[in-house]
Amino acid sequence: MRNLAMAAGLSLALLAGAAAAQAQSPSLPGPGAPGLLQDPAAIRNATVVERRSLPPQLRVQVDSAVAQASPDDLQQLRDTVATIPAAARALQARGMNAAAVIAVAVDEDGDLTLIAEESI
């Protein structure tokens, strides 16, 4: 898997910087961080990653952000994901839908990573 610099988060306002397994530890910016998720047309590709397959350090970051997110934040994230055709196709290919998404990551090239929890 190629290194993918990305910003992980739970809502349009809560994005966390991260990278794939071989890169540095992610950090969480404050609320209001801009993201490509605000412009669904900017999303070129989408990939689904199950939470359990994340590197431990990134999984802790995601779990922490999920714990801090309100139900409304999570619903807003899922509603937004459902409007992105590439995301819907990627989820459908895995037998999932937007309800499984607990976090997202978007890199500067418009590649979207959907972090999903299969048990949702």
pLDDT tens readout for residues 50-103: 999 999 999 999 999 999 999 999 999 999 999 999 999 999 999 999 999 999
Pairing of strands 101-106, 45-50: unpaired
CA 113 centroid distance within chain:
5
Closest by CA to 14, choosing from 70, 98, 58, is 70
Closest by CA to 51, choosing from 42, 39, 63, 65, is 63
Residues 6+ apart with CB under 8 A from 98: 78, 79, 81, 82, 87, 88, 91
Question: What is the pLDDT, as a whole number, of residue 12?
Answer: 28
pTM of the model: 0.69
